[in-house]
Structure 1
Amino acid sequence: MSETSSQQAQIDLMQAALDHISQGFSVFDADLRLVAWNRGLYEMLDLPHALARRGTHLEAFLRVNAERGEYGPGDIEGKIQRRLERAARFEPHYFERVRPNGQVIAVSGTPLPQGGFVTTYTDITAERRRQEKLERTVAERSRALQQSEDWLRLVTDNVPALIAYVGSGPVFRFANRRYADWFGQSVASIVGRSPAEVLGPDLYAELRPYIEWAFEGNAVSYEYSRAKPDGELAYMRSTLIPDMTADGRTLGIFVLSLDASDQKRSEAALVQSQRMDAVGQLTGGLAHDFNNLLAILTGNLLSLKRKGAAVSASDVEAHLAPMLQAAQRGADLTQRLLAFSRGKAQDVIDTSLNKVLDNTATLLAGSLPPTIRLRFEACTDPLTARLDPSQLETALVNLVFNARDALPDGGEISVSLTPATLAAKHAVAAGVTPGTYARIVVRDTGHGMDDDTRMRVFEPFFTTKPFGTGSGLGLSMVYGLAKQVRGSVRIESAPGEGTAVILLLPARLSASGTGSRAADAGGPLPHGAGELVLLVEDDPAVAETVAQQIKDLGYTVLTAEGAADAADLAADVGEIRAMLSDIVMPGQMNGLALARKVRGLRPDIGIALMTGYADLGEGGAGETGACSAGGDTGFPVLAKPFDSRKLAETLKAIVSP
């Protein structure tokens, strides 16, 4: 075979290979004349086969395309000329051309070193159709998603609840309009911010343990209070639900908060109703105690009267000691009953649970029939919990009365307090978080209850008592107290085996100690040096008694029966150094208003108030009932009746030099 024949065979073989390529292929030389091509070029572009010969100028191909509208309408010659000029520059190029029949051709040209270029033509119609379909699908789904988000936003913004989602970080990923407004944010500004930034340092410090517990995969419920812009205190009840994967990872937490202010007010009314029901049941026992106290007072006074002038100093002392003890006992009972019945709302405070048990024992003394034995077992360790002490006292009183009703033939009731440290396993079983708890158990030896009753006793208004004899609120109030402080309550009972109500309250062991007042109780009384004290008391007998107490302490006393006279005396008598006024007095001006008026007239006069009411007017006495800040009054307040030490210390504190 000749060399020419061999070269031709190789060219034919190469041409056959090119013809089997799915793409179109062409090579033009430096003069823009066709050098090589394949069959796919002509089939893909529907070109006349007459052009399939070497030496065909690029213009011929362009003219065919232009005349059949491949380049769109307009000047054919101008379109051809512009394309020839671009080709003559021999620059790399890529473009996609949509043919009139809808076919999409990708054209890619690469220049050759000696001039000319190689061009490939690819039919990408199917690819573009798939891409367009995908883009339409994405657009449709985006519209649907946006519509879904708009609907979600519309729904959540109109639901009367605060709704949010906190992602890992933690940072807010979503919040509805009410949630954003509650924290002074916009829906857009709250996203991406941390809870510490949104909640503020104080509230975040309070809620942080709940947030961390929820991110550990636990559903959490809690309450908190926050002042509105107008200063009113609002109560929120929140639930955190973890957003967890199948393998147990927590991606974030869903937040749902409801305004519980109205509910808190309703609960307070229900608790007050239950408290007053308990007061009614306490009345009989307290009346018995007061009759005993009156018997002590009357008996000793009659004895002194019979002895007359023959009475000795030792006899007087022997009769006075039990009388003073009886009077103090009566004052304590009165204060406790008034405080219990009023149930003055207060924030949770650090409360000695042993003291709550002592107060409850005092309230219940003599209130049960003689066939029932009541035992209180205080804790040997000083346990402290953050709660409303009056609410816990009410709960314990109602539990004891429930136990009493289960003992128609008599028996025993015990109230015990012990510390308990719960590990994770036992805490989960009790429905609380691990930690230290106070365990209060109210147990009776009564008839017990069956399972159906035991499962329903915490329902509001459910009662097993005859119609009209029970409100059905006692145990539901106990349940509310336990949940409010993140504790729990459960009942152990069976027919014929008695009942035990077990309260678990978060607590801590605190150091026990006595106040400085107790330490100084045996010291000498502080006396005055003749300073003039204005006493304002509308009851002449009380005024005479208190005036004598003040004189015995080394002061001079000026007495006024009403607020108007006292104000005039304070303004006119410059020697007055202090004023002690009752809060509740007849007329348009009470003791507190008088104190404020005198403070304006004579800022140099020391002022203290006294009252026989449990809430002490607008303020409140300290734990001992002696000199205190007086709550909102701004003045020290003495709780009637008071002894000479409390009066002496108060006067010493207010008398100006």
Structure 2
Amino acid sequence: MLTGDLYRDRLDLLQAALDHINQGFSVFDADLRLVAWNRRLFELLEFPWHLAKRGTHLAEFLRVNAARGEYGDSDVEVLVARRVERARLFEPHTFERKRPDGQVVLVTGAPLPAGGFVTTYTDVTRDRQQQATLERTVAERTRQLRQSEDWLRLVTDSVPALIAYIGPGPVYRFANRRYAKWFDHTVESIVGRPAEEVIGPELYPQIVPHIDRAFEGEAVSYEYSRTRKDGRLVHMRSTLIPDRTLDGRTLGCFVLSLDATDQKRSEVALAEARRMEAVGQLTGGVAHDFNNLLTIIIGNVLSLKRKVEAPAMPDLAAHLDPILQAAQRGTDLTRRLLAFARGDTPDAKPVHLAALLSNIERLVAGSLPASIALTITSQAPALIARIDPSEAENALVNLIFNARDAMPHGGSLTVTLDEACLETAEAEAIGIAPGTYARILVADTGHGMSEEVRRQAFDPFFSTKTFGTGSGLGLPTVYCFARRASGGITIDSQPDKGARICLWLPVHHAIPADDADTGDMPMPAGQGELILLVDDDTDVANVVRDQLCALGYTVLVTNEAKDAVDLIASVPDIRAVLSDVVMPGQMNGMDLVAAIRRARPDLPTALMTGYRRGPGQEGVPTDCAAGDCPVLAKPFTICALAQTMSEILAS
């Protein structure tokens, strides 16, 4: 048993130990009277030292705090009584109290088994200041990151490219506005969605192998196409760049995509232009020689007709008419072939389309079998388009005869004219400008086309018909006619479900003028003027010479441009020159015109060509398109020759 002195020594030792603790410490008994404490308690909470004795009631400490305003502005005794009542519950408690000077004290109390409680008081002011500083730093960093992300999104949304990031899953983690819009999403709706859900079940199987390769660490580039909700077929070029760590792990992949729709259209248009250029070069030479042959045939037939118009030889005249008609059809054929190959727009004028369809009905009625029911209706009879009527007739006859050939066992063939207003998306799908169009629909119930055939339908010389029964120029000719009229053509067809071909022609608002009735106007005749005729083809030269002589001119013929220059210098009586454009040697028709203008600027000249007529085209100089040097397209009629010679001699 401890003696009094020893007990006090032990308590003093215990007190000294408690005073060295860096936390405040107190023990209150069941009557809420102070039993033990340490120096740090009074220093930390600034209690007066006269309270530092055993038996001091808890209320005295609380009253000091309340008087200093640490519990608020209410009545001191009320505040003290409320806290004393709560302390009598002897419940564990932990709370922080911020003192008026900014000090933060953590108070932790625990009940004792015999009643009362022990409490520790810890100054956490510095910790809380550090925590507040850290929170402010985190908040500022978060704000900066959010600002950086906003800046990144602003940049990526401004770039004319589609940008995204795909994480494992694969799941979209980022997408700029263009990318999200491409897949009919918003920036908010695309993030967090699986790639399969965004891309769609039809397209995803094509793209997922590329995504897999990117997650394996390989940069991948590819192209794909998709049909948008508005029906437009669009094309995309994409590159996937793996997001790799220094240790070789792939965290995801960056997506960079560019809309290649316009470029694809340009490539198709360029390829088509190159094909047409090749066809044009081929047909141009063929047509030139063919036109020379037709010039000879028509000229000789007309000369024979003039000689056999006597009543004694009616049978011979009857035989000459079919020859002349065949030659004239050959002339029309070469004109259309050149128009198809080179893009001419001959004789375009405002045409009533309903009247054109009525004429077509009469033209094809005898060429369709009884098993095919033809119906032609005009739902907009006032529609007008600016087109070449003969080309339009040829195009529609081609479409009708193609439909006929697709129904060997009979069927239904309908041709419908109506009006349609195309918005931007619809027009772009066809490849024409938005606006109001006359739509001519040719629909049949024949065997239809496969998708492969439909894609190649407008390619020159492509044909599904038996060799020798189709030229492969039918639909390409129709296509070129539509394009020259600033319109378009579409095909909707499936195997065994017939075909629907639409011609789209821009509506023209001018009123067509009625063709003037020229009647039998007399041809202008010459008065013996000496004409120099230059053509390397002797047969052509002979025919043209005979025509000029029949018109009353005197003709001097040479086959070389160089000789023509010498004749012009030595024969001042030459009143005009008519020359072919294409001739062998170092001097052609254009060079001859230039030499004539240097030697005799006042000498009238005219040119002939088996190519198409057009200023600045097929080697015909632009200044030759003026009235002082007209161009005759072979084969030409004697009326056209007479009119041309009369005009240049009168100038």
Q: TM-score, normalised by structure 2?
A: 0.48
Max Rg structure: 2
Using CA pairs below 8 Å that are at least 6 residues apart, which structure has the higher relative contact order?
Answer: 2
